[in-house]
Amino acid sequence: MNILCPIDFSDHSLYALDYAINLGNQLGARLHLFTAYSVPKSTGRLRSLDEEIKKSVLEDLSDVLISIENKITSGQKPLYSVTEGNSGRAILEFSMNHDIDIIVMGTQGKGSISNIFLGSVAKKVVDSSKIPVFAIPFPIKEKLDHTKVLLSLDEKEIKNESATDFVKNFTKSLQLSMEIFHVVTPEDKGVYKETAKLYKDVTDKLSIVESEDIPGSIKNYAEASNCGLIIMTKRPHSFWSRLFVDTNTTAELATTKIPILILPE
């Protein structure tokens, strides 16, 4: 298994890196550190900065790698890479070209590099990723029970069998206790009941709340139950709806203090 952790050297991204290290240790996965940088598309002196910037970023990334080597117990030597280009696109391309299974990244950040990874970039990655994305908020809620997982289902059928299998294998591998949660809305069609049956071999816990505020209900229930992870499925939306309207996953992404695992549709 391969875990990709994009960093921008901010406290936020380094916090997510610690999460990725712990996850990799538990799963016996190889960790890939990754960063991207931008230079002005210009000729002359500005363009000549390209190699200098890349060299500097590589040195910084190498220093981070050295600082975490003693934390890695997976038996897999971590790798690192630097790319020039748009951060979100670079993360997605790297994940596709290097057989990455999971992306772990922070949800905000204030790095010194002009093309900052975290924040809006995390949303772009979540919107387009074909593999699961762990979004790690900073600061994280204190005293979470990291053995407890909340799987949030909606009124739509989950057609991605690989995503379902991923959740089952993930919870079994880490010996996690999973609870299924659903917010009943006026438009609810009850599909979640059939979807819940897909997970009967890993959990029989199903909780239902009536509310029209889906993101708020998920957030409140997750925090009250003190679960260590929320799992949600990303639903496809048009470009314009993604631009002007927050989906349930992106709304949760923006407000939660609990790590979220977002599955592809």
Domain count for the chain, please give it. Answer: 2
Last residue of a domain, one of 136, 153, 188: 136
Please tell me the predicted confidence (pLDDT) of residue 126.
86
For 107-136, the pLDDT digits (tens) are: 763 433 333 344 568 878 988 899 999 999
State the average pLDDT for the chain: 84
The answer on 131 and 20 residing in a single domain is yes
CATH of the domain at 131: 3.40.50.620
Last residue of a domain, one of 136, 171, 206: 136
Task: Give all strands of the β-sheet with 30-37 in edge-to-edge order.
Answer: 79-84, 30-37, 2-6, 102-106, 133-136, 260-263, 227-233, 145-153, 177-184, 206-210
Q: Does the pTM exceed 0.75?
A: yes
The answer on 128 and 153 residing in a single domain is no
- Check if the beta carbon of residue 107 is closer than 8 Å to that of residue 116: no
Last residue of a domain, one of 136, 156, 182: 136
**Which residue pairs from 142-147 have beta carbons closer than 8 angstroms and sit at least 24 positions apart in sequence?**
143/226, 144/226, 144/227, 144/228, 144/258, 145/226, 145/227, 145/228, 146/228, 146/229, 147/175, 147/176, 147/177, 147/228
Measure the CA–CA gap between 94 and 26, rounded to whole angstroms: 23
